[in-house]
């Protein structure tokens, strides 16, 4: 639960938004599941299937989350339940398509599908590097696949609506990262108000490997202004490539008009 100084969703889930997300999500889930089933069946390289599986999880989360955002759903719990249902349906559809491609038989009953999978599990439907997984090993592989698809498709969906929503103007805010960088806040006492944050932020014209990043969330015609702060560390790996690691320090702190203007003035000083 966020403190009162931070933004939190109202918990509203408009019936129209729920229906849009559910119906649209079921259509998208069935389509994505079918595509996944075809890809897994036709893939000539079993070891790339993990990337295809990961892709399905991301696609499901993006589709459901985007529909929830379009439907102006501000209730992560409701969206998560819908995402779970859709991910399960998508996973089942993939098995329907995969089995149909393999046997020419369309199995639409869960009990029939389970009986078929139990049978084929003993035989092993594919091999990799001369090894044909069967029994417990194959169940484990299928279990991991299900966990990735259903888990990622469910948990990641509400991340799409993890941005402030203005109840007065009925619109989502737009988040933008300020171009200015600030001195790292390591060792600085915890900030719990706009005033304490503004007193803490110091422009850093020589920011290099470590700095503080500020993100603002605003909407046209809205009095809602939210500020997030992250600690950023940039390291160079052994291949000479830069890797960036971000850690949230402040998430969607509410700013009034005066405090927000002071922040903008501070960023102006940083660019001077």
Would you give the distance in Å from CA 108 to the centre of its chain? 30
Quick check: 161 and 73 in contact, CB under 8 A? yes
In this prediction the pTM is: 0.84
Return the SS3 of 88.
helix
Express each pLDDT in 67-97 by its tens digit: 999 999 999 999 999 999 999 999 999 999 9
Taking residue 263's Cβ as centre, other Cβ atoms within 10 Å add up to 20
Quick check: 208 and 202 in contact, CB under 8 A? no
Six token digits for residue 120: 């084929």
Question: In which band, very low, low, confident or very high, does the pLDDT at 189 lie, cut at 50, 70 and 90?
Answer: low
CA-closest candidate to residue 227, choices 199, 194, 196, 270: 194
Counts of helices then strands in the chain (DSSP H, E): 8, 6
CA-closest candidate to residue 20, choices 77, 90, 82: 82
Predicted confidence (pLDDT) at residue 227 exceeds the cutoff of 90: yes
d(CA 254, CA 122): 58
């Amino acid at each position: 639960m966020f403190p009162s100084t931070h933004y939190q969703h109202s918990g509203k889930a408009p019936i129209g938004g729920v229906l849009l997300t559910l119906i649209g999500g079921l259509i998208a889930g069935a389509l994505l599941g079918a595509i996944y089933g075809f890809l897994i069946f036709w893939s000539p390289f079993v070891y790339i299937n993990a990337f295809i599986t990961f892709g399905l999880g991301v696609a499901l989360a993006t589709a459901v989350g985007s529909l929830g955002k379009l439907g102006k759903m501000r209730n992560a719990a409701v969206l998560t339940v819908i995402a779970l249902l859709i991910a399960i349906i998508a996973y089942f559809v993939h098995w329907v398509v995969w089995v149909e491609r393999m046997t020419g038989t369309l199995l639409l009953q869960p009990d029939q599908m389970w009986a078929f999978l139990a049978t084929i599990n003993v035989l092993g439907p594919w091999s990799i590097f001369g090894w044909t997984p069967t029994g417990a090993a194959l169940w484990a592989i299928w279990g991991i696949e299900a966990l990735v698809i259903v888990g990622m498709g469910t948990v990641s969906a509400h991340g799409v609506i993890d941005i402030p929503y203005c109840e007065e103007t009925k619109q989502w805010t737009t988040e933008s990262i300020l171009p200015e960088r600030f001195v790292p806040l390591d060792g600085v006492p915890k900030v719990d108000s706009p005033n304490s944050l503004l007193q803490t932020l110091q422009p850093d014209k020589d920011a290099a490997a470590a700095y503080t990043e500020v993100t603002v969330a605003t909407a046209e015609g809205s009095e809602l202004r939210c500020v997030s702060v992250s600690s950023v560390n940039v390291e160079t790996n052994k291949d000479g490539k830069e890797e960036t690691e971000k850690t949230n320090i402040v998430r969607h702190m509410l700013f009034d008009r005066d405090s927000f203007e002071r922040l903008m003035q501070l960023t102006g000083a940083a660019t001077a």
